[in-house]
Chains A and B, each alone.
Chain A
Amino acid sequence: MTASAALLAALLAAFSMAATTRAKSPAPAAQEQAATVVVKIDNFSFSPQVLTVAPGTKVTWVNNDDIPHTVVSTSDVFKSKALDTDDKFSFTFDKAGSYDYFCSIHPKMTGKVIVK
């Protein structure tokens, strides 16, 4: 086998493995239906900023930033304490609706959870 043929075979094998792994990953729609969904806090933003989940879903916010943040509902439905780096806050959304929230330390940071 020539060197170029060996290289081509290796590339094909790698592509095949990647495709298999990708096929095993759940689709975004399926992730939304999972019991727990994570919202990351990093670089002064919530990610995803808008999240759609099914009723009964537990949403967990994880602060990956090196600055403390909070997660506060604009309609007083939930409110976290100041979350330091790697701290978490969870809330289970039982009722359908739209829930706006923000960081009370940095009010420009906003997010929304849509439950339907």
Chain B
Amino acid sequence: MKGFLGTYASFTADLNLVLQLAMALALGAGAWLARKKRYRAHAICQSAMLLLNLPLIALVMWPSFDERVWPRIPQRIGKMHYAVATLHGFTGAMAELLGLYIVLVAGTNVVPAGLRIARWKVWMRLELALWWFVVATGLVTYFCWYVPKVRI
């Protein structure tokens, strides 16, 4: 199905892009809630974004990566559209896993005491920065794959 953003992307790629940008904004809003000491709302917001991203990874991003990029690396990693997609995929996996870890530590007792983080602010800020970096690489990936004549 054709996309709705006027590029050559499919509908699912366009929808995923819009949702990822909205989620990045929501995570920023969630960080603002923490600064305002509204921790409950902050936890709900960040957890919801993290969990919403899981089906997008499973249904949109991983199948696309697995079909088009994974079989071509490492042989074609020197090409821009493979390199940026690979960078996006690996940093995205790190961001999702780190986020899940933070949620498990903060919201449950599943993680043993010895494996729990102590410096909350540092890790959460690192997670937010990593997430936004991943969104930025996702944007570059989108332009490399779906927009003609744009070769960054």
| Range of interface residues on B (Cβ < 8 Å) | 20 to 34
| Nearest CB in chain A to that of B148: its residue | A44
Count of chain A residues with a beta carbon within 8 Å of a chain B beta carbon: 14
A67 with B145, Cβ < 8 A, contacts A44-B8, A105-B10, A105-B68 known: yes
Whether a CB of chain B sits under 8 angstroms from the CB of A84 is: yes
Distance (Å) between the CB of B152 and the closest chain A CB? 13
B88 nearest CB across to chain A (Å):
16
| Main SS at interface, chain A | loop
Q: Which residues of chain A are near B38, meaning CB under 8 Å? A: none
Q: Tell me the number of A-to-B contacts counted with CB atoms below 8 Å.
A: 36
Determine if A109 and B8 form an interchain contact, defined as CB atoms under 8 angstroms apart. yes
CB neighbours (8 Å) of B67 from chain A are 81-82
- Interface flags for B134-152 (1: CB within 8 Å of A; 0: not) read 0000000000111011010
Nearest A-chain residue to B76, judged by Cβ: A84
| Contact present for B68 and A106 (CB under 8 Å) | no
Main secondary structure of the interface of B (DSSP, over half): mixed
* CB under 8 Å from chain B, chain A span 55-108: 66-68, 81-82, 84, 104-108
> Are A66's CB and B8's CB within 8 A?
no
Contact A107 B151 (CB under 8 A): no
In whole angstroms, how far apart are the Cα atoms of A81 and B151 in the complex?
23
Q: How far is the CA of A51 from the CA of B149 in the complex (A)?
A: 26
A33 at the A/B interface (Cβ < 8 Å)? no
Q: Bound state CA distance, A68 and B149, in angstroms?
A: 14
Knowing A84-B72, A106-B9, A106-B146, the reply to whether A67 touches B81 (Cβ < 8 A) is yes
Beyond A82-B67, A84-B72, A107-B8, 9 extra complex contacts between A and B, CB < 8 Å: A82-B71, A84-B76, A104-B10, A106-B9, A106-B10, A107-B1, A107-B2, A107-B3, A108-B2
Q: Can you offer 20 A-B residue contacts whose CB atoms are under 8 A?
A: A43-B148, A43-B149, A44-B8, A44-B148, A66-B79, A66-B81, A67-B81, A67-B144, A68-B68, A81-B67, A82-B67, A84-B72, A104-B10, A105-B10, A105-B145, A106-B10, A107-B3, A107-B8, A107-B10, A108-B3
Identify the A interface with B (CB < 8 A): 43-44, 66-68, 81-82, 84, 104-109
